[in-house]
Every structure is written in structure tokens, then in C-alpha cells.
């Protein structure tokens, strides 16, 4: 017994010391397409055709950031391409290679997204990889409870509240669901949907009377919200289990419901408020770190990612839509067929009010989100006084804007110097 | 080799190892908690303590540990006693009892969520038996105490095995003559347990308590799985500051708080359960 | 060396308990076993069910033996290599933590010396500080010295996590063995090393086995350091399971099972060794 152990030990040590092998694949480090199914599709359907191969490694936020930090700090690394949301890439703006020399001939990229990819510099820090949005989804059983005169494709916040109320009262339990779980994207709802719809602003009017009204409306809605919402990260699951009949979420986090039971659900635009139908597009980008082992090869992968076929394959894998003019095929999966038109209806509605992702906050983007999350947890969950909470959170927000010096972005009016919080 | 240098030789590998792979990176992080632009500051601790969530977070963590660890000790003692009394089925039962050793907290969180969620197994059973008419929401944010109980159950399930294994291997070392002597003097099973097992087991109990308490202060994955952000704990907030808010200084301050309460608890156990004949750790 | 002692049992037989007590006792045993096994059974049920069944309500508690979720994981390219890396790192961790931790545990139990208090604090601090914060400085160090992305590099970090267990458990076991026993061996002409080898070692093997098992499972289940420190040579957890919490429900369960099963097999494989040793310790 002891001898076997000894042999085993020596063998393991020997292997442990020599097992590392060189690998010519480009390492694609991403915090998107993290769910295992999407990972699998990215590897098999999107990246397989890239000459030389790609090692696609999706990460949780912790390891994702830590590894990039470590490679940035040492100046040497294994990561060839980084894929992340706009805000994630902004954290390391100085670490990315200028991509303006990547040949994009024949591909028309959205100019607004290209501009975002410069972080206000003259260099192309990242290229827009894919985009998404947030919509509402409902179980078809819920439609009979729609308040009188309401059009599902043109709802107001009041109608949504009335609908949720009908559902709660007539089915016996609250059926509205909201992604307020630890990984849920609740802050985007407040930043890009609720507050702009009532105040026409994301930052400046954070503590205005209109904002107070908006939070009041949300508290009203919360009464008819399934209390398990604080555990929901992805609304597709409670929709599928039937715990929730009406929900708001990111399209990629609703898609499974449509793919598993295409006939059971409908998707439609987010509601509108007094100032319009506010919505917040989601933008993911791809960048090349300065520490990449083979920058030329990495840029080839970037170019590959922007090609129409790759963009369409990415849509099928992740439910994120192309950032280019790539033509969509006819045989899209059920989720894309349902969610695409809902997004389209929302962004092209007459009262559309786009609210952009925060610009110029750098590594403080997370603290910006926390201001809205804290406001939610204090006002809605802890039932604290709305006025008082907004005043305190507004102070944090104002300091954040002053420290970063970030000027206002849409829908707030342009500012000289840091965006003011009135 | 004399007994002056021998202990140091025996400790040398572990010391070097821990200095290189723990102490050195630790000092780098600890410095972050006290520095701003190269100077000394207490500002990060102030930011941490003035956050509205800090004290609830702190107390959640401490109370969880204070409830879970004693329960685990009692359960593990019971399990170890049971194992000691078994004959032919001993190995099977012991194997079953040790199974949770191999479970990650990630997996444990998933399993217990499947039990407690609204459309989970517990509700299926209650509805199936006709005890309730429709599924109950156990893990809602209004029922903080239910989440608390769920977390406690999951932690009891996941991490009692380690305490038990330490106790079982410690019990094996108690000479059976002691029990025989106690029996001769007419001591019943309970008396033998209190007068022989417990005192003789003291080093093992101390070890188990220290290891479990420290681990309990770092509880995270199970709490997040069952309670989301409704039940904030210290490690969760550390993560949040480090990775979501991108403020490594405040995250380091949180980590030092965890370290401080762990050391405090350890010192208490070392004092209260002092082992005889100078064999204290 | 295990066969002879496997039958050696604890002295307290069930015979001295009354029949009502006997019933209660066995009810307790069954209850405790169920407490451990039922949640694992439920995990198995959900793993072996179709996605529709996993989200269905009410649940039957009986699996439909739908292998889709499991096949999904097995079809991952590189699963076998990641599995191999996981085993390699875990075995290395096991060996290193015992080789480094057990001597320290012995020294702590047998000697009084200056610096003892400092050392024991260092050991405990290692356990009491959240690893994810340490991952960045360690990664920077590893990249600089070339240990980055090697199994041995990751094993070194996992060993750091396992050493406190190894030190403390071996310490408590060594403390339980009277010094007189060793001294007796010395008077019989053994030197310190021989006495240790012949007298102490057989007695402490159960504790050492226990801490070896901890070391293995700690390494097996560790995700964070593994994700940061291995890139091309990923461990199984880092390769496919770290994203568990954001994956669809049915795959979460299959992933959870993928995490649990190898650890169960490992404990099962070493159980005989472990239990036989626990038997021998019953002097």
C-alpha cells in the first residue's frame, strides 16, 4: 500500500511539472455567453471555423476581472481577445490595442456603437460585438387579465400595474416577476426604463419629484410582484415553471422560455411613462489586450467575429443581435422570432426614448449601478422613506460624477464638466 | 538531531510555504485596506462601516455561525457515537455519513434550492400530501427567518461530516480500558460519554470547532443560492466590492473584518477548550 | 494490511441497550442516513429528468431517466482532459499538504518552543482570509516566475488551502497519543525516527487519511483560483462548472451531479483504507 502511494506520488509530481504544453489557439476570454449551453454553441457553431482554432473561455465576473488585471499588471499574458459588456471593457480602457486598422470592408457597423468603442479617445478601443435589449414577456394565459382597453404592444406603466393587480387578485397569487436576484439585471430597469420614462433623465433628475413618483409607481407594482423575485436572475425559469406569468428581462435571459415552449409565451415592448417609452440597449464589445501573445492573430479573430456569417451564428448561440448590417436568415429559432420584433417595436415606437449605458465612468461603472440597486433595496425591500433615500443616494451619485468627471449622456442634456445631479 | 532544532526543522517546510503563498500576497492585500495613493488612511474602513448594509451583513454572518456550529458539534457527536455503537453495518453507515465531505458548496446550494424553491420538492410533497393547497413561497424576501433556516439546514447537511470525521478519528484513540474501568464503577452510557468521551476528545473537539467556525464565517455560495442578496453575508459583500464595484480597497477592508472575527473566535476556543499537559495548539 | 483489522470493532455492542432503546437507536441511524442521502437522491432525480420535468410542478420525485443533460456535458470537447487535470491537481495537493502539514502537526503536538504561537496564528489566518482576493497577487507572481497555467502551480495554491486542515487534524491526532508510548519505544532501543515509524505512524494514519481526503475534496471543488490560474490546462470545475449558477436549471443539476459523482467515487475508493485504519486505532 505504501509503495503504491509512493509511486503514485512520484508519478504525479513528474506529470505536474511537465504537463504544460504550448497552445497556438487564440484564447478568447469572455464574460458573455457564460451559460453552459451558450458556451457550447459558441465553441461549436461560431468559432470552430476560425483557422488555427479558438479557445473560448467564458468566465464569472470575479475570475474574468482578476485574470485581466494580472495580465495587465505583468504586461505578459495568454489572453488573445477579450469579450465583455461596454462597462466591463471601459474598466481597462488603457489596456486595449487600437483596432482602427482592422479591415472591416464589406461590413457596415453601427456608427453610434463604433463611437462608443472609442471611449472618447481617437483610438478604436473595442469593436461592437453584439447587442441586445430588454423587453417584457407574458404567458398567454395572462392575456385574458389585461386591463380593459390596453394594447399589449403599447402599454403604459399604469396599465402594467393594473394588469399585475388583476393577475394577483384573480389567480390568487402575484404573477408579475422581476429579475431582482443577485445576478439579475434590476439596475438596468431603473437606469434605462423606469426613471427615464418618468423623468426623461438617467442621472440629472435622480432625486426629482418625478423620480419620487416613479419609485412610488414601482412600489405599487411591487405589491403585485411575486416575492420570490429577489431570487430570480433569469426570468425564463419562473416563466417556464409557471410561478410568473408576466415578466421584464434581458432578451437573452428570456429566450429559453420561448425555445422550450414557443406557443406559450408572447414578447412585447417595455411600457411607456409620461416622458416616453424609455429603453436601454445592451452592447457587448471585443478588444485585444496589449499583453496578447499574438496581436496580429487576435485582430484576425476580431475581423472574423464581425463577418456576417459569424454575426448570425452568434445570434443563434447567444440571442444577442448583430451590430452590423448582417442579413438574418428566415429559419431563426423561436426566441429570436418572438423577441426580435418586440425589440423592433420598442425601439421604433413613436415615443421611443433611448437611454444609453453610462459613458465615461471607467472602473466606477459598478458603483454607478450600486446607487440604483441600493435605492431599490432601501425603498422597495426595506420600505425606507423615498425622499430620504433619494437624497442620500443622489449625494453618492453626485460624488461619483465629480470624481470621474463624466459629462452627461443620453437622455440627459449634454453638460459642461461632470454631469450634475440636481 | 536534538529537540531544540527538531521542531523548527519540522515546521520549516510549512512555514516557507505559507509565507510565500499566503503571507506575501496577504500583506499586499492588507496594505490596500489601509492605503490611499501610498499614504496611510482609515477611509476605506469608514466607507465600509458607513454603508447601510454593513451591520446587517456583519450580524447575519455572526449569527449564522453561532447557530450552525454548535448544532453541527452536537450532530457530529451523535453521529460519531452512533458509528461507535454499530457492528456489521458500521462501514456502510460511516460511508454514508462521510458523503457530504465530497460536496462543493456550489453543488449544495443547487440541491437545497431545488428543495425549497416555489416549485421545488418540498412544495411538491406538501401539495401531494394535501397539507397545503398551493405551493408556499419559502424563500421570499419578507420571510428572512425562513431563508435563515434553509441556509442553516443546508449548512448542517453540507459541513457536518467534516466535524464528524475529526471526532471519529479522535474517538478511535481513546483507550477502551477507560470505558471498561468506567463500566466497572457502574457508569451508564450517558455518564461514560460525559466523563470519558468528552474530556478525552477535547483536542479533536477544539480542532473541529476552530476549523468549522472559520469556515462558517466564510459562508457564501449556499447563502447566495438560497437567499440571493436578501441575506447579505460578509464574503458576499467582499465579492461585491471587489468585482462589481471595483473598489479593491474596501474589499480588502471587508476581508480583514472576516479575518479579525475568525481570529477572535479561534482565541476563544483555544482558551475555553485548553487541552491538558501543555499540548495546546 | 487492512484485512485483519477490518473486523476489529468498537467495544460497545448494541446488546447493552434495551429493546425500546434499540428501536430508537436504529430509527436514529435510519433518520441520519436519510438526512444525508435524500438531498443527493433529489439531485440525481433532477439530473436524470428531462428539462420539462425539471421545471414542472408538482414534481413526482421519480426520474424519467432522460440522459439529455448528462450527454450534454459529456459531449463537451476537452472534458476528459479537464477531468484529468482536476485529478492531477487534487492528487498533487493531497501529497503536498500531507508532506508539509503532518510534520508541522507533529512538532506542534510534541514540543514547546518559541514562535509556536506565531506559527499557529499563521496557519489559522490562511483559512480565515477569502481566497478570491489573494488570487490577483498570486496570479501576478505566477506569471512572473512561469508557474502560471501549470497543474503544479494550482496545486501549490490548493495546498495552501489544505495545509491548515492537515496541520490541525494531525496535531489533534498526535496529541491524543501519549508521549509515554514513544518514550517506551526509545527505551527499547529505537531512535526517534524508528519510534515514530513503528509506534506513532500506524496510530495516526486514520487522521492522516482524513486530512488527505479533505485535501483532495478541497482541491476538487475549488473554482476561483482554478479559473484565474489555469488557462489552457483547466480543471473540470473551472472548465465547465463555474458558470453553473447562470445556466438553465436542468443543466445546473447535471453540472452539480458532475461535481458530486467523482468526489463520491473517490471517498468510496478510499473508504476501506480509511475505515480499516479507524478500526486499528481502537486499542
C-alpha cell at B55: 451591520
Determine contact: B141 vs chain C, CB below 8 A. Answer: no
- Using the structure block, give the residue that is written with the C-alpha cell 505566477: C142
What pLDDT is stored for residue A377 in this prediction? Answer: 92
Write down the pLDDT at residue C279.
47
Residue ranges of the alpha helices (H) in B2-53? Answer: 6-18, 24-34, 43-50
User: Of the ranges A27-31, A156-160, A284-288, B200-204, which one carries the lowest mean pLDDT score?
Assistant: B200-204
Residue written as cell 502551480?
A: C153
Q: Write phi, then psi, for A85 (nearest 5 degrees).
A: -75, 160
Q: C259-275 as b/e, with b when 16 or more CB fall inside 10 Å?
A: bbebbbebbeeebebbb
The residue with greater pLDDT, A157 or A14, is A157
Mean pLDDT is lowest, of A161-170, B230-239, C1-10, C207-216, for C1-10
3-state secondary structure of B11: helix
Residue pair A282/A203 in contact (Cβ under 8 Å)? The answer is no
**8 A C-beta contact, residue B139 and residue B150:** yes
Asked if residue A145 and residue A180 are part of one domain, the reply reads: yes
Q: Is residue A67 part of a domain?
A: yes
* Residue C1 confidence (pLDDT) above 60: no
Q: How many CB atoms lie within 10 A of CB B29?
A: 21
pLDDT of A307 reads 94
**CA-to-CA dists, residue C9 to B85, B90, C260, C283, angstroms:** 9, 9, 30, 10
Q: What are the distances in angstroms from CA C106 to CA B3, B14, C188, C200?
A: 13, 12, 21, 10
Residue A248: pLDDT band with limits 50, 70, 90: very high
Cα–Cα distance measured from residue C256 to residue C243, given in angstroms and rounded to the nearest whole number: 11
Quote the CATH superfamily of domain C3-7+70-280: MetI-like (1.10.3720.10)
Provide CB contacts within 8 A for C54, sequence distance 6+: C46, C249, C250, C253
**What's the confidence (pLDDT) of residue A21?**
46
Q: Are residues A153 and A102 in the same domain?
A: no
Partner C contacted by B67 (CB < 8 A):
no
- CB contact under 8 Å between A243 and B118, yes or no, is yes
Q: Which residue has the cell 509556536?
A: C116
Degrees, nearest 5: CA angle A171-A172-A173: 100
Answer yes or no: do A172 and B134 touch at CB < 8 A: yes
Q: State pLDDT tens for residues C132-143.
A: 889 999 999 999
- Give me the mean pLDDT over the A377-393 stretch: 93
How high is the pLDDT of residue A48?
Answer: 92
Q: Rg of the Cα trace of chain C?
A: 23
Name the average pLDDT for chain A.
89
Q: Which one, of B106, B36, B47, B105, lies nearest residue B254 by Cα?
A: B47
Do both A286 and A234 map to the same domain?
Answer: no
> Where is average pLDDT lowest: B14-28, C204-218, C236-250, C256-270?
C236-250
Nearest CA in chain C to B213: C128
Instruction: Provide the CATH number for the domain formed by B54-272 in this structure.
Output: 1.10.3720.10
- Share above pLDDT 70 across residues of chain C, in percent, rounded to a whole number: 87
3 state DSSP class of A55: strand
Q: Do C242 and A8 touch (CB under 8 A)?
A: no
pTM: 0.85
Residue-wise pLDDT for A316-330, tens only, equals: 999 899 999 888 888
A56-60, B35-39, C11-15: lowest mean pLDDT where? C11-15
Residue with the larger pLDDT of the pair A125 and C237: A125
| Least confident among A11-25, A179-193, B20-34, C229-243 | A11-25
Q: Report the range of poorest mean pLDDT among A163-167, A216-220, C115-119, C196-200.
A: C196-200
| Chain C, window 21-50: residues with a beta carbon less than 8 angstroms from a chain B beta carbon | 25, 28-29, 32-33, 35-37, 39-40, 42-43, 46
- pLDDT for position A10: 61
ipTM above 0.90, yes or no: no
In a domain, A342, yes or no: no
Mean pLDDT of chain B: 87
For residue A10, with 0-12 CB atoms within 10 Å meaning exposed, 13-18 middle and 19 or more buried, which class applies? exposed
The mean pLDDT value of chain C amounts to 81
Which tops the pLDDT comparison, A214 or B90? Answer: A214
Does the pLDDT at position C56 exceed 90?
Answer: no
Query: Do residues A6 and A114 both lie within one domain?
Result: yes
Assess C54–A contact: CB distance below 8 Å, yes or no: no
A187 and A67 in a common domain: no
Average pLDDT over residues A282-308: 95
**In the prediction, which pLDDT does A4 show?**
55
| Residue C174 CB contacts under 8 Å (≥ 6 apart), including other chains | C105, C106, C108, C109, C110, C200, C204
Domain edge (last residue) among A294, A329, A364: A329
Residues 6+ apart with CB under 8 A from C30: none
For residue C52, pLDDT beyond 60: yes
Residue B276 pLDDT greater than 60, yes or no:
no
As a whole number, mean pLDDT of residues A52-61 equals 89
- pLDDT of C184-225, one tens digit each? 888 888 888 888 888 888 877 777 887 888 888 889 888 889
C268, three cell numbers: 468510496
Classify the phi-psi angles of A383: left when phi > 0, otherwise alpha if psi is within -120 to 50, otherwise beta: left
Name which of C74, C213, A370 is nearest B100 in CA terms.
Answer: C213
pLDDT on residue A54: 93
Burial class (CB in 10 A: 0-12, 13-18, 19+), A382: middle
Q: Where are the domains of chain B?
A: 1-41, 54-272
Q: Is the model's pLDDT at B25 over the cut of 90?
A: yes
Dihedral sign computed on CA atoms, order C186, C189, C191, C194: negative
Say what the pLDDT of residue C109 is.
87
- pLDDT (0 to 100) of residue C39: 92
Cα A248 to Cα A236: distance, rounded to the nearest angstrom: 10
Confidence check: pLDDT of A55 > 60? yes
Contacts of A1 in chain C (CB under 8 A): 1-2, 273
Q: Is the pLDDT assigned to residue A1 strictly greater than 60?
A: no
A361-376 burial: b if 16+ Cβ within 10 Å, else e: bbbbbbbbbbbbbbbb
Residue A70 reports pLDDT greater than 60:
yes
Indicate the pLDDT class of residue B2, thresholds 50, 70 and 90: low
- pLDDT tier for residue C125 given thresholds of 50, 70 and 90: confident
Number of domains in chain A: 2
The secondary structure of residue A205, as a DSSP letter, is T
Question: pLDDT-based confidence at C92, cuts 50/70/90?
Answer: very high
Report the pLDDT value the prediction gives residue B15, as an integer from 0 to 100. 93
And the C-alpha cell for A138? 407574458
The predicted pLDDT at position A11 comes to 61
Predicted local distance difference test score (pLDDT) of residue C3: 37
Kindly report, residue by residue over B26-49, the tens digit of the pLDDT.
999 999 999 988 788 899 999 899
Q: How far is B81 from chain A (nearest CA, A)?
A: 30
C159 pLDDT more than 70: yes
- Chains near B, with 3+ CB pairs < 8 A? A, C
Domain range for A380 is: 134-280+351-404
Model confidence band, residue A101 (pLDDT cutoffs 50, 70, 90): very high
Nearest to C247 among A37, A69, A71 (CB): A37
Of the listed ranges A23-32, A93-102, B147-156, the least confidently predicted one is A23-32
The pLDDT, as a whole number, for residue A3 is 54
Specify the 3-state DSSP secondary structure of A146. coil
Give the pLDDT score at A12.
58
What would the mean pLDDT of A407-422 be, rounded to a whole number? 87
Same domain flag for A148 and A246: yes
Nearest to B96 among C37, C43, C164 (CB): C37
Please say if the pLDDT value at position C8 is more than 50.
no
Q: DSSP string covering A283-347, please?
A: EEEEE-BTT-S-HHHHHHHHHHHHSHHHHHHHHHHHSPBPSB-PPPPS---HHHHHHHHHHHHHH
Domain for residue A337, yes or no? no
Asked if pLDDT for residue A207 goes beyond 90, the answer is yes
CATH number at residue A219: 3.40.190.10
Which string of DSSP letters, residue by residue, matches C130-166?
Answer: -HHHHHHHHHHHHHHHT-TT-HHHHHHHHHHHHHHHH
Angstrom CA distances, C140 to A163, A228, B21, C148, stand at: 54, 41, 12, 9
Nearest to A78 by CA among A121, A28, A38: A28
C189: left (phi over 0), alpha (psi -120 to 50) or beta: left
Q: In chain C, which residues have their Cβ closer than 8 Å to the Cβ of B189?
A: 12, 16-17
**Residue of A24, A56, A63, A262 best to disrupt the C interface, most CBs of C under 10 A:** A63
Query: Which pLDDT band, with edges at 50, 70 and 90, does C11 fall under?
Result: very low
- Regarding whether A362 and A252 lie in a shared domain, the answer is yes
Q: Are C215 and C208 in contact (CB under 8 A)?
A: no
Amino acid at each position: 500500500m505504501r509503495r503504491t502511494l509512493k509511486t503514485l506520488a512520484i508519478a504525479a509530481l513528474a506529470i505536474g511539472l511537465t504537463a504544460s504544453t504550448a497552445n497556438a489557439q487564440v484564447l478568447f476570454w469572455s464574460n458573455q455567453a457564460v451559460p453552459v449551453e451558450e458556451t457550447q454553441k459558441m465553441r461549436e457553431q461560431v468559432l470552430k471555423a476560425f483557422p488555427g482554432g479558438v479557445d473560448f473561455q467564458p468566465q464569472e465576473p470575479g475570475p474574468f476581472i482578476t485574470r485581466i488585471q494580472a495580465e495587465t499588471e505583468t504586461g505578459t499574458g495568454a489572453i488573445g481577445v477579450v469579450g465583455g459588456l461596454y462597462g466591463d471593457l471601459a474598466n481597462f480602457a488603457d489596456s486595449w490595442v487600437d483596432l482602427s486598422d482592422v479591415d472591416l470592408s464589406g461590413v457596415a457597423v453601427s456608427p453610434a456603437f463604433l463611437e462608443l468603442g472609442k471611449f472618447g479617445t481617437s483610438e478604436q478601443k473595442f469593436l461592437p460585438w453584439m447587442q441586445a435589449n430588454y423587453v417584457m414577456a407574458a404567458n398567454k394565459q395572462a392575456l385574458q387579465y389585461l386591463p380593459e382597453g390596453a394594447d399589449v404592444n403599447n402599454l403604459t406603466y399604469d396599465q402594467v400595474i393594473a394588469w399585475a393587480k388583476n393577475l394577483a387578485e384573480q389567480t390568487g397569487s402575484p404573477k408579475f416577476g422581476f429579475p431582482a436576484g443577485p445576478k439579475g439585471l434590476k439596475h438596468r430597469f431603473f437606469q434605462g426604463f423606469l426613471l427615464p420614462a418618468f423623468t426623461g433623465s438617467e442621472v440629472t433628475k435622480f432625486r426629482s419629484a418625478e423620480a419620487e413618483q416613479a419609485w412610488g409607481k414601482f412600489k405599487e407594482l411591487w405589491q403585485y410582484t411575486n416575492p420570490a423575485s429577489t431570487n430570480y436572475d433569469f426570468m425564463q425559469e419562473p416563466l417556464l415553471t409557471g410561478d410568473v406569468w408576466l415578466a421584464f428581462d434581458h432578451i437573452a435571459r428570456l429566450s429559453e422560455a420561448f425555445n422550450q415552449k414557443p406557443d406559450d409565451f408572447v414578447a412585447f415592448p417595455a411600457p411607456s411613462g409620461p416622458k416616453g417609452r424609455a429603453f436601454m440597449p445592451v452592447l457587448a464589445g471585443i478588444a485585444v489586450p496589449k499583453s496578447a501573445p499574438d496581436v496580429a492573430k487576435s485582430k484576425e479573430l476580431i475581423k472574423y467575429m464581425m463577418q456576417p456569417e459569424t454575426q448570425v451564428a452568434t445570434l443563434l448561440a447567444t440571442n444577442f443581435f448583430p451590430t452590423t448590417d448582417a442579413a438574418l436568415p428566415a429559419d431563426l429559432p423561436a426566441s429570436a422570432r418572438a423577441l426580435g420584433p418586440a425589440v423592433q417595436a420598442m425601439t421604433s415606437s413613436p415615443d421611443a426614448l433611448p437611454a444609453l449605458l453610462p459613458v465615461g465612468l471607467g472602473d466606477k461603472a459598478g458603483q454607478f449601478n450600486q446607487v440604483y440597486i441600493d435605492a431599490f433595496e432601501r425603498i422597495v425591500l426595506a420600505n425606507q422613506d423615498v425622499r430620504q433615500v433619494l437624497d442620500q443616494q443622489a449625494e453618492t451619485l453626485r460624488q461619483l460624477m465629480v470624481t470621474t468627471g463624466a459629462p452627461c449622456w443620453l437622455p440627459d442634456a449634454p453638460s459642461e464638466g461632470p454631469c450634475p445631479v440636481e | 538531531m536534538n529537540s531544540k532544532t527538531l521542531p523548527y526543522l519540522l515546521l520549516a517546510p510549512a512555514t516557507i510555504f505559507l509565507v510565500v503563498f499566503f503571507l506575501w500576497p496577504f500583506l499586499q492585500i492588507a496594505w490596500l485596506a489601509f492605503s490611499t495613493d501610498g499614504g496611510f488612511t482609515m477611509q476605506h474602513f469608514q466607507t465600509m462601516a458607513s454603508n447601510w448594509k454593513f451591520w446587517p451583513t456583519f450580524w447575519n454572518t455572526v449569527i449564522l455561525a453561532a447557530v450552525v456550529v454548535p448544532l453541527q458539534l452536537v450532530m457530529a457527536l451523535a453521529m460519531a457515537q452512533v458509528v461507535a455503537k454499530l457492528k456489521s453495518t458500521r462501514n456502510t453507515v460511516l460511508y454514508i455519513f462521510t458523503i457530504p465531505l465530497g460536496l462543493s458548496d456550489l453543488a449544495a446550494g443547487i440541491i437545497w434550492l431545488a428543495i425549497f424553491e416555489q416549485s421545488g420538492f418540498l412544495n411538491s410533497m406538501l401539495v401531494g400530501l394535501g397539507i397545503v393547497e398551493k405551493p408556499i413561497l419559502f424563500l421570499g424576501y419578507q420571510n428572512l427567518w425562513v431563508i435563515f433556516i434553509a441556509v442553516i439546514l443546508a449548512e448542517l447537511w453540507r459541513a457536518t461530516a467534516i466535524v464528524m470525521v475529526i471526532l471519529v478519528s479522535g474517538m478511535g484513540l481513546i483507550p477502551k480500558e477507560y470505558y471498561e474501568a468506567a463500566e466497572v464503577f457502574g457508569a451508564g452510557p450517558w455518564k461514560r460519554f460525559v466523563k470519558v468521551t468528552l474530556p478525552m476528545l477535547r483536542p479533536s473537539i477544539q480542532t473541529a470547532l476552530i476549523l468549522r467556525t472559520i469556515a462558517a464565517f466564510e459562508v457564501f455560495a449556499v447563502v447566495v443560492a438560497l437567499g440571493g442578496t436578501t441575506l447579505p453575508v460578509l464574503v458576499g459583500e467582499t465579492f461585491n466590492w471587489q468585482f462589481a464595484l471595483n473598489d479593491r480597497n474596501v474589499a480588502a477592508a471587508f476581508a480583514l473584518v472576516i479575518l479579525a472575527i475568525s481570529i477572535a473566535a479561534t482565541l476563544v476556543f483555544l482558551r475555553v477548550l485548553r487541552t491538558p499537559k501543555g499540548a495546546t495548539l | 494490511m487492512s484485512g485483519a483489522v477490518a473486523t476489529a470493532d468498537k467495544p460497545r455492542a448494541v446488546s447493552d441497550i434495551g429493546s425500546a432503546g434499540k428501536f430508537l437507536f436504529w430509527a436514529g441511524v435510519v433518520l441520519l442516513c436519510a438526512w444525508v442521502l435524500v438531498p443527493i437522491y433529489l439531485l440525481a432525480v433532477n439530473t436524470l429528468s428531462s428539462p420539462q420535468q425539471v421545471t414542472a410542478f408538482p414534481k413526482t420525485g421519480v426520474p424519467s431517466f432522460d440522459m439529455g443533460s448528462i450527454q450534454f456535458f459529456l459531449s463537451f470537447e476537452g472534458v476528459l482532459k479537464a477531468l484529468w487535470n482536476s485529478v492531477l491537481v487534487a492528487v498533487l495537493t493531497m501529497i503536498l499538504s500531507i508532506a508539509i502539514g503532518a510534520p508541522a502537526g507533529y512538532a506542534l503536538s510534541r514540543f514547546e518552543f518559541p514562535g509556536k504561537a506565531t506559527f499557529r496564528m499563521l496557519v489559522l489566518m490562511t483559512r480565515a482570509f477569502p481566497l478570491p482576493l489573494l488570487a490577483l497577487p498570486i496570479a501576478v507572481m505566477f506569471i512572473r516566475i512561469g508557474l502560471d497555467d501549470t497543474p503544479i502551480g494550482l496545486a501549490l495554491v490548493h495546498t495552501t488551502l489544505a495545509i491548515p486542515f492537515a496541520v490541525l487534524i494531525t496535531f489533534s491526532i498526535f496529541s491524543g497519543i501519549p508521549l509515554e508510548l514513544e518514550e517506551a519505544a526509545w527505551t527499547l532501543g529505537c531512535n526517534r525516527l524508528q519510534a515514530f515509524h513503528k509506534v506513532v505512524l500506524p496510530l495516526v494514519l486514520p487522521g492522516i487519511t482524513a486530512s488527505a481526503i479533505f485535501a483532495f475534496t478541497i482541491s476538487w471543488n475549488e473554482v476561483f483560483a482554478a479559473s484565474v490560474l489555469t488557462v489552457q490546462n483547466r480543471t473540470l470545475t473551472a472548465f465547465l462548472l463555474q458558470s453553473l449558477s447562470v445556466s438553465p436549471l436542468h443543466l445546473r443539476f447535471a453540472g452539480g451531479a458532475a461535481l458530486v459523482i467523482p468526489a463520491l467515487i473517490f471517498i468510496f475508493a478510499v473508504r476501506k483504507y480509511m475505515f480499516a485504519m479507524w478500526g486499528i486505532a481502537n486499542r
